[in-house]
Amino acid sequence: MNDGLLSIENLSKGFSSSGRRVAALDNVSLTIAAGETLGLVGASGSGKSTLSRILLRLVAADAGSIRFEGEDWLALNGAPLRRRRARMQMVFQDPLAAFNPLASVGAVLDDPLRIHGVAKDRRPGEIVELLERVGLTADHAGRPVRALSGGQRQRVAIARAIATRPSLLVLDEAVSALDVTVRGRILELLVDLQKEQGIACLFISHDLAVVRAVSHRIAVMDGGRIVEVGPAAAVVAAPQSEAARALVAAVPRLVTDPC
């Protein structure tokens, strides 16, 4: 890919559980271009979260390499890694697990701005801008996170993720806990942000309908491997692998009535 932002090559990771070796990732290679949304879909246990945790440097890989913004991402450590983390941010399924529920929304958004060197007097203004960008208002800054609805919390999580001006967002089951209406609105927000700001996304879900709604390309995982990758419409209309066919069959209206 010409302006490759992220390039993952031959990534492998095994876990030992009850004496058995599980290949959570088996020679996974993927690329994401600047501004692209790549959907990563697969059944539960196919290795999606392991891939996201390795990308975020929460878990070490056994083998393979990752280039991100031209750097050897897995070789970065210490202060340089902390600085570069601003460029790759994560949105999890459960926003409450990601921040202190007693903290105010303003404090949650102040943290990344402070850590990444935004001057104190500029931070309140940036917090309001961030809130408005994700469809909330300045009023929300003073509220505790636990007083918000699930959808509002996920908006705060997205605001926090984009606060450091990342070039890549990794979203792992980010809308899976939300009811259908709220989920639709959050997906719309993601598509808008992506268009307005050109942030690339790795959008991970077990649900092909959700992935289809936001992705330019879709990669399908099965048993730790990428078994298929192609333009989103093509993967949905003419799935090539067994795993992709099973995911398409699970959403019968997908081909005729895309989201």
Ligand X SMILES: Nc1ncnc2c1ncn2[C@@H]1O[C@H](COP(=O)(O)OP(=O)(O)O)[C@@H](O)[C@H]1O
User: Which residues contribute to the site for ligand X (CB under 6 A)?
Assistant: 15, 17, 22, 24, 42, 44-50
- Cβ distance to ligand X smaller for residue 45 or 64: 45
- Cβ distance to ligand X smaller for residue 45 or 124: 45
Residues with Cβ within 8 Å of residue 23, at least 6 apart in sequence: 12, 13, 14, 223, 224
- Cβ distance to ligand X smaller for residue 37 or 52: 52
What is the CB-side half-sphere exposure of residue 123 using CA atoms within 13 A? 18
- Phi and psi angles of residue 67, each rounded to the nearest 5 degrees, phi first: -105, 130
Pick one of 37, 46, 49, 152: the residue that binds Mg ion (CB under 5 A).
49
Residue 50 interface partner, choices ligand X, Mg ion, none, CB cut-off 5-8 Å depending on type: ligand X
Element (H, E) at 83: helix 78-84
Q: Please identify, among the stretches 3-11, 43-51, 91-99, 115-123, the one whose residues bind Mg ion according to the rule CB under 5 A.
A: 43-51
- Cβ distance to ligand X smaller for residue 2 or 17: 17
Sheet containing 71-72: give its strands across: 20-33, 4-17, 63-68, 71-72
Q: Please identify, among the stretches 47-55, 182-190, 193-201, 223-231, the one whose residues bind Mg ion according to the rule CB under 5 A.
A: 47-55
| 180 burial type by CB count under 10 A (0-12 exposed, 13-18 middle, 19+ buried) | exposed
Residue 137 interface partner, choices ligand X, Mg ion, none, CB cut-off 5-8 Å depending on type: none
Residues that bind Mg ion (CB under 5 A): 48-49
